[in-house]
Structure 1
């Protein structure tokens, strides 16, 4: 197929423009793919659930009869194992659940540190 000579600059300009707009849109324009949007939505919903369950964890820690001993154990453990200590204390296990939630335990550790200071 023979294209007219006057049409070639327009075709090249359209192709270069499309590549430029796509590159700028995905890098600086905030465009995301469907998979990326799904990942962000899942992370946001997980964060919202943890934020909603955090008061339950703190209430369980306040009403625990062994609160003083368990808090002392949590404070004595190294920083990276405090989450596991909260999980073993049972404060990150929601009513109706059999296993503790790691993300909730981490949020509870942060809130307990803020609460203690």
Structure 2
């Protein structure tokens, strides 16, 4: 099959336009792939869960025996070790099957709320 001469520039223009559209769309237009959107959604969900569980952790900490003494210890500890203190105390753990990374993130957010 022979393509008419006047059709070739049209086809090249369509191909070039499609390539330019893809480059502009993904580069500057804010388009994302499904995988990138899923990864961003997972991060946002995890952050939302941590922010929802941190006040529960604070409440558990404040209701525990010796909370005043432990709060003083927490405030005197270095910023880096505060989350570990809360996690070791068990206040960041919630019922259910939570991944260890989430428990650590809840403990750090809880410690920041308590110390701040």
TM-score, normalising length: structure 1: 0.79
Aligned position for 1:3: 3
Is residue 99 of structure 2 the alignment partner of residue 94 of structure 1? no
Is residue 27 of structure 2 the alignment partner of residue 12 of structure 1? no
* Cα separation, 2, equivalents of 1:97 and 1:39: 21
Gaps of 5+ in 2: none
Give the total of aligned pairs. 114
Aligned position for 1:74: 74
Aligned position for 2:33: 33
Give the drift of 1:59.
Answer: 0.5
* Cα separation, 2, equivalents of 1:21 and 1:64: 59
Mapping 1:30-69, distance limit 5 Å = 30-69=30-69
Mapped contact 1:57–1:108 kept (Cα < 8 A): yes
Give the drift of 1:2.
Answer: 4.1
Mean alpha-carbon deviation: is it higher for 25-34 or for 56-65? Answer: 25-34
TM-score, normalising length: structure 2: 0.80
The structure-2 alpha-carbon separation of the partners of 1:61 and 1:16, relative to structure 1 and needing over 3 Å to count, comes to: same
Q: Over aligned residue pairs, what C-alpha RMSD do you find?
A: 2.3
* Cα separation, 1, equivalents of 2:2 and 2:84: 71
